[in-house]
Amino acid sequence: MVVSAESETATKPHVAVVASPGMGHIVPLFELAKRLVTHHGLRVSFLNITTEASTAQTQLLHSPDLPSGLDVVDLPPVDLSTIVSEDALVLTRLCINVDESFRCLKSVLLKLGKPNAVVIDLFCTQALEVCEELSIPLYSFCTTSSAFLAFSLYLPTMDREIEGEYVDLPEAVQLPGCSRVRIEDLLDQVRDRKNDDYKWFLYHVSRLPKAAGILINTWEDLEPVALRAIRENPTYQEIPIPQIYPVGPLIKDTEPLTASVVDCLAWLDKQPTDSVIFIALGSGGTLSTQQLTEFAWGLERSRQRFLWVVRLPSDIACDSASFFGAGYEANGWKEYLPEGFLERTKEVGLVVSSWAPQVAVLSHPSTGAFVSHCGWNSSLESIMCGVPMIGWPLYSEQRMNATMLMEDVGVLTKPVVEPGQETIGRLEIERLMRTAIEGEKGKASRRKAKELKESARKALSTGGTSYESLSCLTKQWEAY
């Protein structure tokens, strides 16, 4: 009997995947969706929240090169103008967006034929009730580290047992079986328990145990201590935690080929191996005008080769000022650099506006270090390319990531910040840049990063820990 391609596709397990807004959430979930299709033979419908979608999000999800079996389903846009105030914090705005966009979720899932499973990210737990009503297993995907997941799972206990603000605690937060979280590293959303961001964050993490399982964008060798704690520590066992599945590192594998991409790579081709410092602080972060100036002076004084992605500075009190506007900006950034900077550094540096092909740059042999905001996607990309980092965390959980990558993993160095100072001065920046390329600490971090690059490759390969973890899960979905 001849089986048509259409009927064969229809018999494959079908999974719906949905991410909350923001490229830091969308990229890893979209990579998961592609991997489920290309490596595990599933059909996947990726549900796209179109309200306040950035240019970068739209271009990524509507690329003409999607694999067969992956469909992007646009959720209808919603009007937030009368619901969300102009001064709403990032997470609050994001969660209300998801709330309103999910009003159609039940009808969308029914129209898709009730998928075998639904995978959400941390800020989409509003889907729980819909999936329970339709008897569809729901899984949460942790787009950041298992250390962050351990903190998130423990937060409801902290909320019950600790009075006052966490930032006023006399010492670091001791997570059961894990490293401590320094008070100064606490993520923004838990630094003020009275605001709406904290309430939303607590709401979502409190619902994590209701998921059928939790996928994590990490792998066994990168975070063995935190993974073991979540699986075995009595505190987490009592919550209780559903089964966890380390399936990473899942990073963006393709980028648009533009004239600027070609120019970046052509410039890198002319530089010595491991000599270039790549500076890119993510799609959602900005520096103040003063910090941008100090960074430029420190970079120039260091005399190191560099490729710097410059975004327009912002002096509002929010390091995530461009979170919802991530995409491509107009020119205008040059006026914020010190006079003559571009001319004086033209022999050793390349400055580009707003965006560069990050994975392509990181994987280039000339790239020797990465100044990163320590978002988890960028951190994984750097490790996957064997490039050590200089941590420049801006918002959310990035300070936690930076400390963990420095103290527990050994692939990152951080600037020394003077007490009471918000701006990191040019002399410290100069020291960091020199150390990253010429110093022994920089060389040790580079060796460690290259070791982890090989470890990550093995984890994702057939028979590797992450491959088998995801394979185990897809076999369960086939049985539903």
Tell me the catalytic residues: 25, 121
Q: How many CA atoms, within 13 angstroms, populate the side-chain half-sphere of residue 296?
A: 27
Left (φ > 0), alpha (ψ -120 to 50) or beta: where does 52 sit?
Answer: left
Contact 229, 150 (CB under 8 A): yes
| Other CB atoms within 10 A of residue 373 CB | 26
Contacts of residue 222, Cβ cutoff 8 Å, sequence gap at least 6: 249, 383, 409, 452, 455, 456
CA distances from 6 to 10, 217, 247 (A): 6, 32, 29
Half-sphere exposure of residue 223, counting CA atoms within 13 Å on the CB side? Answer: 30
Q: Within 13 A of 366's CA, how many CA atoms are on the CB side?
A: 20
Peptide bond into 249 cis (omega under 30): yes
Paired sense of beta strands 173-174 and 180-181, if any:
antiparallel
Here the tokens at position 332 are: 């205008």
Burial tier of 475 (Cβ tally within 10 Å: 0-12, 13-18, 19+)? exposed
Angle between helices 23-38 and 465-479 (to 10 degrees): 70
- Residues 444, 435 contacting (CB under 8 angstroms): no
Alpha carbon distance 4, 426 (integer Å): 65
Q: How many Å from the N-terminal Cα to the C-terminal Cα in the chain?
A: 26
